[in-house]
Amino acid sequence: MVGAFGVGKTSLVRRFVHQQFDERYHTTLGVKIDTRVIDTIEEPIKLVLWDMEGADPFEKNKRPLARIRSYLEGAHGLILVADGTRPPTVKTALGLYHDFCRENQSVPAIMLANKSDLTDDWRFDDSTLPEQIGVYHTSALNGQNIEDAFTAFGATLSAL
């Protein structure tokens, strides 16, 4: 799970793995590893999620980026997370994706445009996303599309 800070990566994992939501913002420093077994038609899949600290959209602080790069080595897939109310966070997530692709073999990726419950402030634009990156509008607050997104992505990874 990669993206700018404050986009809701930890909240998405918390909702998906523990069915919980906390309105307070608690920044992640480092990485939290969580697992959840999901049922698919063929067989159960164990999804190991690395919830990484957020990158700075304006790249003022380089240290998180260095740590993120170290965690990303060996990743089987990337869940790019953006805040649908903050357009620059789409660019940050895409930047991390392209950064990864330059150094590693291409892996499957999806984009979660989070905070879809904030309809009045919604300004998500997917026109800059590569075609192969599927997009889900999600809300960690109300759980919208979270099960679908993670399950579909898990199935994609297990089919590799």
Partner 1 sequence: MKRISRRAAHYIRDELLKNERFIVIALDAKQKIKSVNQSTPGWKLPGLIRGSMLPDSLGSLLEASVDAKEPTVFPYVELNGFFVDIHVLSDKGSADLVIHDVTETHVIEQTLQQRAHENSLLSEQRAALNAELENLNEELLLRRRQAEKASAAKSQFIASMSHEFRSPITTIMGYADLLQAELPGSDNPQALQRASWHLLTLVENLLEQAREGDEHVKLNPTRFSLDRLVADIDALFRTQADAKGLDFDVNSSPEGIDVECDELRLRQILINLVSNALRYTQKGQVSVQFRHRDDKLNIRVRDTGQGIAPGDLERVFEPFTRIGGENAPGAGLGLTITRQLLKRMDGQLKIDSKPGEGSEFRVRVPCPRIRDDYKEMPVLSGTLLWVDDDLDILSLYRVVLETWGLRVLTASSVAQANYKMKHHDCPLVITDLHLADGDGLELFHALRTEYPAIEGIIISGSGIVDLSAEIEGSGIRAFLQKPIDAGMLYTEVAAVFKGGSPDPII
Residue with Cβ nearer partner 1 (33 or 159): 33
Which lies closer to partner 1 via its Cβ, residue 1 or residue 136? 1
Q: Is 9 in the site for partner 1 (CB under 8 A)?
A: no
Give the list of residues 6+ apart from residue 116 with CB closer than 8 angstroms, or none.
84, 122, 137, 138, 139, 144, 145
100 binds partner 1 (CB under 8 A): no
Interaction mask 26-65, partner 1, x per CB under 8 A: xx-xxxxxxx----------x-x-x--xx-x----x----
Element (H, E) at 91: helix 88-103
Please identify, using beta-carbon distances, which residue of 114 and 145 lies nearer to partner 1: 114
Closest separation in Å from C-beta 108 to partner 1: 17
- The answer to whether the CB of 16 falls within 8 A of the CB of 33 is no
Residue 95 binds partner 1, judged by CB under 8 A:
no
Minimum separation from the CB atom of position 131 to partner 1 (A): 28
Residue 70 binds partner 1 (CB under 8 A): yes
Residues numbered 103-122 forming contacts with partner 1, rule: CB under 8 A: 121
* Least CB distance to partner 1 at residue 54 (A): 7
DSSP string, 103-115: HS----EEEEEE-
CA distance 113 to 9: 11
Q: Residue 48: CA atoms inside 13 Å, Cβ hemisphere, count? A: 5
Instruction: Rule CB under 8 A: say whether 20 interacts with partner 1.
Output: no
Separation between Cα atoms, residue 79 and residue 155, nearest integer Å:
13
